[in-house]
C-alpha cells in the first residue's frame, strides 16, 4: 500500500512541474514581446523616413529647376524688349533727321540730350549718323557699296563712337550694314574695341544700324535697297548697361553671352563662378535670341546643389522630426505591449477585459447592438438608445426586427443567416448602399451598418455597429444640388461670354475696320492732291510723301491687327460658313503661328451643327491646340471629326512628350485628376452637350484627347449649314 500510494504523488508532482514550466515559458515570451515590437516599429519608421526624405529632395530639386527655367525665360524676354526699345529710338532718330535734312551737329546734340539716354533704362551709349559718300577705294568686300565709304557726320554724345574708320574696316559691322541696306530694317553688329577710350571698360560694343534713303523714299526692290542708301543711323550699346540689369536682381544666376556663329564672347557676369564640385548638380540652360540678323547665345548657369536650393535644410528638418516620431512610436508600442503582457499574466484578466470592453461599448459614438442566433437583442448601448429612442431595458430581449422597417425585415433575416454560415458580409461601414432603421415613434431614417460575429459558450453572437447618416445624406443632396446649379451658372456664363465675344468681334470687324479703311482712302486723297499740286520745295514734298507712306503702312498694320483680334475673339466664318471651314482656318492659323503641322480628317457626314454645338466643338478644338502649343513640344497633330454610332466624335492626337497621368484616364464628372484648367474647361463644355471626354497619354508617347457628343445634342431645329 505504501508503494502504491507513492506513484500518484510523483505523477501529480511531474504534472505541476510541467504546468509551471509552461506558465514560465509563456510569461518569458510575453516579457520579450514588447522589445521586439518596439524594434520592428523603429525599423519600419526608419525605412519610411528614408523614402520620404528621398521623395522630398527629388521634388524640391525639380521645383528649383522649374524656378530657374522661368527666371531665365524672363531674362531673355526682357533682353528682347530692351533691344526693341533701342530700335524704336533709332527709328525716331531717322524720322527726326528726315524732317530736318540739313541738321547740324549742334542741333543733333540738342536732340540727343532731350532723349536723356544716360538717365533712361536703355543701354544706348551714343546715337549718330554716317553719310555714304563716293571714294576712290571702296569698303572691304565685294558689295554694292564698292566705290563708296561712310563718314560720321552726326554723333552725340561726343566720343561715343568706338573708332572713326569703324564702318569701313570692321567686317562684322560691314556685314550688318549690308543686311540693313538690303532689308531696310535694323541690323545688329558686334565690334571689339578694347583699345579705344570710349569703350575702355568694355571689350565688346553692340551696334544697331538703320539705313536712310534720299527723301525718305524707300526703293521698291531689295537690289535697290542695297545700292541706294543715303546713309546709316547707328546706336552703340553698352553691353554692361544692357546685360547687368537683367541679372542684377537674380544673384544666383550667372550669364555668359556670345554673338554670331561661331560665337564670339561679348559678356559674362563677374560675380564669380557658379561651377559646383563634381558631387553637386549644376542648373544650365541655353537660349538663342536672333535680333537684327545676328544670333545672341545666352548661357545661364546656377548652382543646383542641395545646399544651394535649400533641399538639405528641408531634408534635415524632416529627418530630425522623423527620428523623433519613430522613437515616440516605438516607445508607445513598447508601453502598450508591455501593459498587455502584464495584464495577461495577472489573475482575473478575462473578467477585467470584459469590463473594459463593456466600457468601450457604452462610451462608443456608434450605436452598437448585439444579438444571438435567434436575433434577440442582448446588448444595447447608450448611443443605440439615443438613435432608436428606446431604453436598453426595453430593447434587451426584444427581437431585432422591432428596429427594422417591415419591408426590409425578411431580407435582413436572410442576410444574417447567410453571414452566420459564410462569415462574409456585404455591409461594411461607408462601402455599401444606405439602409433604413425604425425609431420608436415609427420614423424611418437612413443608416450605415457593419456586422461581425463571435462564438462563446452559449453560441454565436452577432454585433452590428450602426451610424445615423440623416444629416450626411441631407448635406450630400444639398451639395449635389449646389453642384448642378454651379454647372448651370457656368454654362450660362459660357454662353454670355460667347455672345459678348461675337458682339465685340463684329464691332471690331465692321465699325473699326470700316473707319480704318475710310482713313486709308482719305490718305490716298491727300497723296493725290500733293501729286496734282506739288509745292515749290521738292525736298519738302519728298519728306511729306515719305511720312504719308509710313502712315499708310501703319494703317495697313492696324487693319491686320484688328482682323486678327476679331478672328481670335470669334471667327466670322464660324457664323457665316459653318464649323468645318472654321476648323480648317483654325488649323491653318495654328500651323502658321507655331510651325506644327495639323493633319486633318474632317468628315461629319450629313450632320448639321446648331449654333451652340458648332461653338462648343470649335472652342474645344481651339483649347486643345493651345494646350499642344504650350505643353506638348510636338511636331505633328492629327485632328479627326466624324460621326459613328449616333455620336459625333472629335479626336486630337499629338506626337509630343505626353504626361505621367496614366495610360488611360477618364475625366469623370466632378473628378480633378488633372489640374489643367484647359482640360477642366473642355470637360465642362462637353458636359453642357451631354458629351464625354477621354484622355490617352503616357510619358514620351504623345497625348490623345477624344470628345464624343450625342448627335441629338449638337443638332437643332435652326442649324448652321
Q: Can you tell me the distance from the alpha carbon of 162 to that of 165, in angstroms, rounded to the nearest whole number?
A: 9
Confidence class for position 702, pLDDT limits 50, 70, 90: confident
User: What's the grid cell of residue 49?
Assistant: 523616413
Check residues 52 and 720 and name the one with the higher pLDDT.
Answer: 52
pLDDT score recorded for residue 539: 66
- Whether the CB-CB separation of 590 and 622 falls below 8 Å is answered with no
Buried b (16+ CB within 10 A) or exposed e, 281-310: bebebeeeeebbbbebbbbbbbbbbbebbe
CA distance 328 to 586: 62
Stretch 504-526: mean pLDDT, rounded? 72
DSSP letter at 163 equals: -
Question: How many helices and strands (H and E) does the chain possess?
Answer: 20, 22
For the question of whether the overall pTM of this predicted structure is more than 0.75, the answer is no
DSSP, collapsed to helix, strand or coil, labels residue 138 as coil
Cell of 710: 450625342
**Residue 305: which of 64, 599, 144, 112 has the closest Cα?**
64
Query: pLDDT class for 162, splitting at 50, 70, 90?
Result: low
In which element (H, E) is residue 371 found? strand 367-372
Find the helix packing angle between 513-532 and 538-569, rounded to 10°: 170
pLDDT band at 84 (very low <50, low <70, confident <90, very high): very high
Contact 111, 98 (CB under 8 A): no
Question: Does the pLDDT of residue 274 top 70, yes or no?
Answer: no
Q: What is the pLDDT of residue 13?
A: 38
Please measure the distance between the N-terminal and C-terminal CA atoms of the chain and give it in whole angstroms: 121
Q: pLDDT band at residue 499, thresholds of 50, 70 and 90?
A: low
* pLDDT score recorded for residue 661: 55
**In whole angstroms, what is the distance from residue 107 CA to residue 670 CA?**
70
721 pLDDT more than 60: no
Give pLDDT tens digits for 98-142.
888 888 888 899 998 888 887 778 888 889 998 887 544 444 344
Phi/psi of residue 716, nearest 5 degrees: -150, 175
Where is average pLDDT lowest: 65-69, 288-292, 311-315, 451-455? Answer: 451-455
- From residue 215, how far is each of 210, 358, 398, 525 by CA, in Å? 15, 106, 112, 21
Comparison of pLDDT for 596 and 564, the residue scoring more: 596
Amino acid at each position: 500500500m505504501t508503494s502504491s500510494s507513492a506513484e500518484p504523488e510523483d505523477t501529480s508532482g511531474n504534472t505541476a512541474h510541467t504546468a509551471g514550466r509552461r506558465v514560465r515559458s509563456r510569461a518569458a515570451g510575453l516579457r520579450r514581446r514588447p522589445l521586439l515590437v518596439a524594434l520592428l516599429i523603429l525599423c519600419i519608421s526608419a525605412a519610411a523616413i528614408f523614402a520620404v526624405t528621398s521623395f522630398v529632395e527629388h521634388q524640391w530639386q525639380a521645383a528649383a529647376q522649374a524656378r530657374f527655367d522661368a527666371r531665365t525665360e524672363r531674362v531673355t524676354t526682357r533682353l528682347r524688349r530692351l533691344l526693341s526699345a533701342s530700335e524704336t529710338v533709332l527709328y525716331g532718330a531717322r524720322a527726326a533727321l528726315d524732317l530736318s535734312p540739313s541738321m547740324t551737329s549742334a542741333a543733333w546734340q540738342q536732340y540727343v540730350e532731350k532723349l536723356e539716354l544716360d538717365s533712361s533704362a536703355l543701354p544706348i551709349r551714343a546715337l549718330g549718323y554716317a553719310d555714304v559718300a563716293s571714294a576712290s577705294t571702296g569698303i572691304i568686300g565685294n558689295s554694292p557699296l564698292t566705290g563708296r565709304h561712310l563718314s560720321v557726320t552726326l554723333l552725340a554724345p561726343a566720343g561715343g563712337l568706338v573708332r572713326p574708320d569703324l564702318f569701313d574696316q570692321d567686317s562684322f559691322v560691314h556685314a550688318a550694314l549690308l543686311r540693313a541696306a538690303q532689308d531696310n530694317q535694323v541690323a545688329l553688329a558686334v565690334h571689339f574695341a578694347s583699345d579705344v577710350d570710349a569703350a575702355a571698360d568694355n571689350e565688346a560694343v553692340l551696334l544697331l544700324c538703320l539705313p536712310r534713303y534720299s527723301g525718305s523714299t524707300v526703293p521698291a526692290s531689295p537690289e535697290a535697297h542695297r545700292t541706294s542708301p543715303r546713309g546709316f543711323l547707328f546706336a552703340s550699346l553698352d553691353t554692361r548697361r544692357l546685360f547687368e540689369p537683367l541679372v542684377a536682381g537674380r544673384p544666383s544666376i550667372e550669364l555668359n553671352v556670345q554673338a554670331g556663329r561661331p560665337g564670339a564672347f561679348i559678356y559674362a557676369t563677374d560675380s564669380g563662378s557658379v561651377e559646383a564640385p563634381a558631387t553637386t548638380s549644376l542648373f544650365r540652360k541655353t537660349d538663342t535670341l536672333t535680333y537684327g540678323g545676328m544670333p545672341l547665345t545666352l548661357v545661364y548657369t546656377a548652382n543646383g546643389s542641395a545646399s544651394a536650393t535649400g533641399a538639405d535644410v528641408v531634408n534635415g528638418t524632416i529627418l530630425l522630426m522623423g527620428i523623433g516620431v519613430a522613437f515616440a512610436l516605438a516607445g508607445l508600442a513598447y508601453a502598450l505591449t508591455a501593459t498587455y503582457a502584464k495584464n495577461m499574466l495577472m489573475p482575473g484578466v478575462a473578467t477585467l477585459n470584459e469590463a473594459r470592453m463593456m466600457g468601450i461599448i457604452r462610451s462608443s459614438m456608434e450605436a452598437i447592438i448585439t444579438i444571438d442566433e435567434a436575433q434577440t437583442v442582448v446588448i444595447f448601448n447608450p448611443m443605440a438608445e439615443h438613435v432608436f429612442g428606446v431604453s436598453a431595458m426595453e430593447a434587451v430581449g426584444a427581437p431585432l426586427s422591432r428596429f427594422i422597417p417591415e419591408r426590409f425585415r425578411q431580407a435582413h433575416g436572410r442576410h444574417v443567416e447567410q453571414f452566420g454560415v459564410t462569415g462574409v458580409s456585404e455591409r461594411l461601414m461607408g462601402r455599401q448602399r444606405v439602409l433604413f432603421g425604425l425609431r420608436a415613434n415609427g420614423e424611418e431614417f437612413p443608416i450605415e451598418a457593419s456586422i461581425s460575429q463571435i462564438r462563446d459558450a452559449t453560441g454565436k453572437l452577432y454585433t452590428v455597429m450602426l451610424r445615423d447618416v440623416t444629416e450626411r445624406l441631407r448635406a450630400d443632396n444639398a451639395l449635389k444640388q449646389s453642384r448642378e446649379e454651379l454647372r448651370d451658372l457656368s454654362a450660362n456664363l459660357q454662353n454670355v461670354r460667347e455672345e459678348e465675344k461675337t458682339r465685340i468681334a463684329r464691332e471690331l470687324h465692321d465699325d473699326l475696320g470700316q473707319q480704318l479703311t475710310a482713313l486709308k482712302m482719305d490718305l490716298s486723297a491727300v497723296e493725290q492732291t500733293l501729286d496734282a499740286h506739288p509745292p515749290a520745295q521738292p525736298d519738302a514734298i519728298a519728306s511729306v510723301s515719305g511720312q504719308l507712306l509710313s502712315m499708310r503702312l501703319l494703317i495697313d498694320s492696324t487693319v491686320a491687327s484688328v482682323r486678327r483680334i476679331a478672328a481670335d475673339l470669334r471667327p466670322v466664318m464660324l457664323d457665316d460658313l459653318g464649323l468645318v471651314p472654321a476648323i480648317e482656318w483654325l488649323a491653318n492659323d495654328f500651323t502658321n503661328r507655331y510651325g506644327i503641322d495639323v493633319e486633318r480628317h474632317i468628315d461629319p457626314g450629313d450632320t448639321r451643327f446648331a449654333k451652340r454645338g458648332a461653338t462648343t466643338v470649335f472652342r474645344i478644338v481651339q483649347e486643345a491646340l493651345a494646350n499642344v502649343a504650350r505643353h506638348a513640344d510636338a511636331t505633328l497633330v492629327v485632328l479627326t471629326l466624324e460621326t459613328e454610332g449616333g455620336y459625333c466624335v472629335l479626336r486630337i492626337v499629338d506626337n509630343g512628350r505626353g504626361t505621367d497621368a496614366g495610360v488611360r484616364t477618364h475625366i469623370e464628372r466632378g473628378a480633378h485628376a488633372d489640374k489643367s484648367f484647359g482640360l477642366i474647361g473642355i470637360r465642362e463644355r462637353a458636359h453642357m452637350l451631354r458629351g464625354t471626354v477621354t484622355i490617352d497619354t503616357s510619358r514620351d508617347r504623345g497625348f490623345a484627347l477624344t470628345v464624343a457628343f450625342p448627335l441629338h445634342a449638337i443638332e437643332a431645329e435652326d442649324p448652321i449649314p
